Chains A and B, each alone.
Chain A
Amino acid sequence: MSDEYLVEARGLSLRYGAKTAVDNIAFNIPKGRVVGLLGHNGAGKTSLMKALVGLMPASQGELRVLGLDPLRQREQLLAGLSYIPDVAVLPRWARVDELIRLMSGLQPSFSAERARALLKRTSVSPRDKVKTLSKGMVTQLHLALVAAIDSRLMILDEPTLGLDVMSRKGFYEMLIDEWCDGERSVLISTHQVEEIETLLSDVMMLDEGRLVLNISLEEIDSRFVALSHDPAAAEAVAAAHPLLRYRQQGQAMALFDGEPLLPLETLGRRVRPSLVDLFMALTRKPDVQATSQV
């Protein structure tokens, strides 16, 4: 294991009793990345995030976060990690400036000054009580608090769940503006694939505990081919073994892993492969996938 990566996992499996949540996966997260962790409910996203912050032991394999063993060196790890769990709750009775004081006492690498500066971006004021804030404002407050920790890795589990459009936009603007500096990385799990597609540098897709895709967005454009085609070409397209065939706004579409042996230009129009389509193609039920895959 090296210092090059902020997260390194080798042959990692996570189990709850007899149930396997994460099944023998390997990946690295380098610095300066925005990594999307995608998966349906029960795919293993939250288990993986728990393991990353030392809340769940690995049943097999090796895991290093910021060069530390998350389970055995949890205290040291949490001192330098920015983490918002999926059930993030800030104490409702607390005032914002009290939370900042509390964080200063708990987190050696927390900067109260930076937290106040970050909050100036939002409509949250230091004298507000948590219970008077909207859900969107609480989430922004939480982001400001964890972004004020001097760390190199942020872990966000479904950070914008239940927020309206404007709050989600504000959240991601703050994340890009105040966190992504080319050195620090962030791992975000979400269901809202379409919405964060352009924010990501990399994507990891989990399906039933297996890592079915781990790729940069740049590689997606060069590796996968999406074709919008004439319905009359359906047979030829099917014979070329697409990963997925589907309809988009009434238009017949096909997604291929690699360049298919087809005269694409005569069959239709080549389009940008979207993350949502790729996600659907790679994480459908095995019996459905078996019929559409090579």
Chain B
Amino acid sequence: MIHARTVAQRAAAAGLSRIWSNTGTVVFTAAFYLMVTAVLAALWSAAAAVNDGHIVGYSASALIWYIAASEAATIALPQRLIEEIGQDVKGGAIEIEMLRPASVLLVRLSTQFGAMIARLSICAACGVVFSLIFAGRPGDFRALALAGPAVVLALVLSLVAQHLFAAISFWMRDATATWFLYQKLIFVLGGMLLPLEVLPQTMETIARWLPFSAMAYIPARLASGHFEPHLLLIQLGWIAAIGAAATITFNAGQRRLLEAVS
């Protein structure tokens, strides 16, 4: 029997090398990341310029660092992961994976984690260079140092949350399109497109209590020069909660598949 840790390590290594060995994917990831970051950086820079250089306490420079981090925390994961998992559930790929002597969820999460680290390294390198060129030095180096682990935690949280969201496919036939909803929740309530401080008071409060803000806003807030280490604890708390929910739901879904077959 192979140890679960070994399985996870091998799956992660496979995911990592799958991205790095494909030049087209590397170039596409870098180009797409730079494109989105450049568009949003231009938008927020223009917005700051017509508001005396500041929007809700963020300078134009801080906003560029914010966008660079929030985009890295979003683009490093496949855009349609929920849809892909849903198709695997419907198409029977999950049933085949259940024949392996290892947890389906663990192998999937580990493979995606490896691929995510590869994509993140591309996005992070592009993001730092882009921000240094167009925004200058970061506002606070200690905060930027925290933004690194915060981006990784944000992506891990997003990864398990997407599996939780996708697990709905075990029960609903048309659940694959729900990735649109998930993505848009991160866009606005997660702070990917705009800092949460831009939202109206009530909406901002709700957004802070939801897990989506830990997937984009927290690393972006740190990268924009706000030294707030307690934000990492919030991310860890959400990973524990959503991770447990994803495990329970995925296992229940697999049992449902087995019952349908037998």
Partners in one complex: no
- Chain B residues with CB under 8 Å of chain A are none
